[in-house]
Amino acid sequence: MTSLQPARGMHDLLPGDHQKHAFIITKALQIAARYGFCEISTPMLEFKEVFKRTLGTTSDIISKEMYEMASKGGEELVLRPEGTAGVARAVLSNGLTQSMPLKFCYTGPMFRYERPQKGRLRQFHHIGIELFGVDSALGDVEVVSLAYDVLKALHLEERVTLEINTLGDEESRTHYRTQLVAYLNDHLTKLSPDSQTRLTRNPLRILDSKDEGDKRILENAPLLKESLNTASEDMFASVQEGLQTLKIPFRINPHLVRGLDYYCHLAFEFTTTDLGSQGTVLAGGRYDGLTRTMGGPQIPGVGWAGGIERLAMMLREEDLPRPVRPLAVIAMEERFSFKGLELAEVLRQEGFRVDMTYENNLGKCLKKSNKINALYALIVGEEEVRSHKVTCKNLDSGEQMLVPQEEIGQFFKDTYPQGRTGHES
Ligand code: ATP
Ligand code: MG
């Protein structure tokens, strides 16, 4: 027999986790819909090329984090590590490029072969959005604003910081790369081994290094903003103006670079100090070159993805919607069980949550009813069956009354209307 543990880095989502995930997803999709974004789902398995071409072979994801497999037919497949490349692939393969803009939101599991730790899993979940076809700062600002609204809906906006930076356009980055490489070459031997390799393959990524020695060297490195051409400067200034207009607080972090090749201009992250070293909860940016590297036309794009597990870890119990309190059905004898189930069915049809107590001992059943936080117990015994009535006991006040069976739906609709909705708050 194989181990009873899930595979390393993979987690079960128990009902308590699900409640948080569902809350985050519901809020995010609701707000995305308010901005005119429509939900899209792409497969969890894609051809490796979809990611290899676009994320860049030197990115952490491609170089070490992908779950790869071959199909029986010999195709190279991967479990998706992120959503953007798959959504862009879907835009191209479904021929959606004719009507811009396209506004998509999505949620689902992502897979990365990383060292598992708190807030870092091998299967985790993203909530994300992508806006295609808007090349102005308006798109960037709207997308960040959407993220901010989601964080506000989760009551997290006070506990996160929005950090932004610009990677400029291609011309600015090429200029900067030369400056940075020249500077880092002077400190080559003191750089971490990882960064030494990156220096030839992808020097910009060194800016993102977590190595303390690298960080010290980077303190005096030339900054990307000194290499920006006017167009890139203007674009970044507009983004800032937009954020200020919407009163979204932000901080410019000149060392912020995103780990993937397809980004240009805006890069941003919402970070927190509440989660230890896994401090980024939501991150994104502009990726105007993405569809072209896939072999499609050039379509500007901007978007983000939030880590649902990290967001869930930040949620406070009191901010979660309280589940609707159920009604508990108690059949005093086994022969009344189906009578009880019939009653439950009537009330479920009316939209109430009804739990059976499954036993025939009043004391035990009342205890169970309290344990599931039921508001009422509906008791069906000999007397009730004979008189076609039900004893309805309010478990908070202890008050009880006999309600005719045929009026039971109406009775609860009148006395407990909030029990019919999905959630109370
Ligand atoms: P990190 O720097 O933490 O590795 P990243 O830059 O790789 O993050 P993105 O690819 O931008 O992350 O994904 C967006 C969000 O998804 C992150 O901000 C984070 O909240 C979440 N995320 C990324 N990787 C993981 C993981 N292995 N486990 C849990 N959440 C993750
Ligand atoms: Mg990562």
Q: Supply the residue whose CA is at minimum distance from atom 24 of ligand 1.
A: 120
Per cent of the chain over pLDDT 70 is 98
CA of 405 to the centre of ligand 2 (A): 59
CA of 356 to the centre of ligand 2 (A): 46
Top mutation candidate among 55, 62, 65, 124 for ligand 1, by most atoms within 8 Å of CB: 124
Domain presence at residue 57? yes
Q: Which two tokens stand for residue 367?
A: 């205890």
Bridging pattern class, strands 251-252 and 161-166? parallel
**Mean pLDDT, range 234-245, rounded to an integer:** 98
- Does residue 101 register a pLDDT over 90? yes
Q: What pLDDT does 339 receive?
A: 96
119 and 98 fall within a common domain: yes
**Mean pLDDT, range 61-73, rounded to an integer:** 89
- Strands lying side by side in the sheet with 45-47: 45-47, 76-79, 67-70
**Mean pLDDT, range 309-316, rounded to an integer:** 96
Domain presence at residue 209? no
Polymer length of the chain = 425
CA of 156 to the centre of ligand 1 (A): 18
Q: What pLDDT does 260 receive?
A: 65
Q: What pLDDT does 262 receive?
A: 73
Q: How confident is the model at residue 55 (pLDDT cuts 50, 70, 90)?
A: confident
214 lines ligand 1 (CB under 6 A): no
The Cα-based distances of 51 to 57, 88, 131, 284, 394 in angstroms read 9, 11, 19, 16, 58
CA of 280 to the centre of ligand 1 (A): 7
124 lines ligand 1 (CB under 6 A): yes
Domain presence at residue 2? no
352 and 261 fall within a common domain: no
Q: How far apart are alpha carbons 136 and 133 in whole angstroms?
A: 9
**CA-based nearest residue to 282, from 242, 311, 260, 253:** 311
Q: How far apart are alpha carbons 62 and 69 in whole angstroms?
A: 14
Domain presence at residue 312? yes
CATH code for the domain in which residue 399 is found: 3.40.50.800
120 and 238 fall within a common domain: yes
Prior bond of 203 cis (ω within 30°): no
Last residue of a domain, which of 267, 290, 318?
318
Query: Is 0.85 surpassed by the pTM of this model?
Result: yes
120 lines ligand 1 (CB under 6 A): yes
290 and 336 fall within a common domain: no
123 lines ligand 1 (CB under 6 A): no
Q: What pLDDT does 57 receive?
A: 73
Last residue of a domain, which of 318, 346, 380?
318
Q: How confident is the model at residue 423 (pLDDT cuts 50, 70, 90)?
A: very low
Domain presence at residue 368? yes
CA of 260 to the centre of ligand 2 (A): 10
82 lines ligand 1 (CB under 6 A): yes
48-57, 231-240, 241-250, 356-365: least confident range: 48-57
Q: What pLDDT does 289 receive?
A: 87
Cβ-in-10-Å burial (0-12, 13-18, 19+) of 3 comes to exposed
- Does residue 15 register a pLDDT over 80? yes
- Does residue 422 register a pLDDT over 80? no
44 and 148 fall within a common domain: yes
**Mean pLDDT, range 407-412, rounded to an integer:** 97
Q: How confident is the model at residue 311 (pLDDT cuts 50, 70, 90)?
A: very high
Domain presence at residue 196? no
Last residue of a domain, which of 268, 297, 318?
318
Q: What pLDDT does 53 receive?
A: 81
CATH code for the domain in which residue 301 is found: 3.30.930.10
297 and 367 fall within a common domain: no
Top mutation candidate among 150, 208, 310, 311 for ligand 1, by most atoms within 8 Å of CB: 310
Q: Give the chain's domain count.
A: 2
Q: What pLDDT does 1 receive?
A: 53
**CA-based nearest residue to 51, from 68, 38, 39:** 68
74 and 91 fall within a common domain: yes
304 and 366 fall within a common domain: no
**Mean pLDDT, range 225-238, rounded to an integer:** 96
The Cα-based distances of 158 to 30, 126, 151 in angstroms read 21, 22, 9
Question: 378 by DSSP, 3-state: which?
Answer: strand
152 and 253 fall within a common domain: yes
Q: How far apart are alpha carbons 4 and 26 in whole angstroms?
A: 32
- Does residue 189 register a pLDDT over 80? yes
Q: What single DSSP character describes residue 416?
A: -
Mean pLDDT for the chain?
93
Q: How confident is the model at residue 259 (pLDDT cuts 50, 70, 90)?
A: low
Paired strand residues for 79: 45, 67
Q: Supply the residue whose CA is at minimum distance from atom 8 of ligand 1.
A: 280
119 and 36 fall within a common domain: yes
37 and 156 fall within a common domain: yes
67 and 103 fall within a common domain: yes
- Does residue 218 register a pLDDT over 50? yes
307 lines ligand 1 (CB under 6 A): yes
**Mean pLDDT, range 244-270, rounded to an integer:** 89
- Does residue 415 register a pLDDT over 50? yes
Domain presence at residue 222? no
Q: Which domain holds residue 271?
A: 15-169+229-318
Domain presence at residue 182? no
Ligand nearest to the CA of 115: 1
C-beta separation of 144 from 162 below 8 A = yes
- Does residue 2 register a pLDDT over 70? no
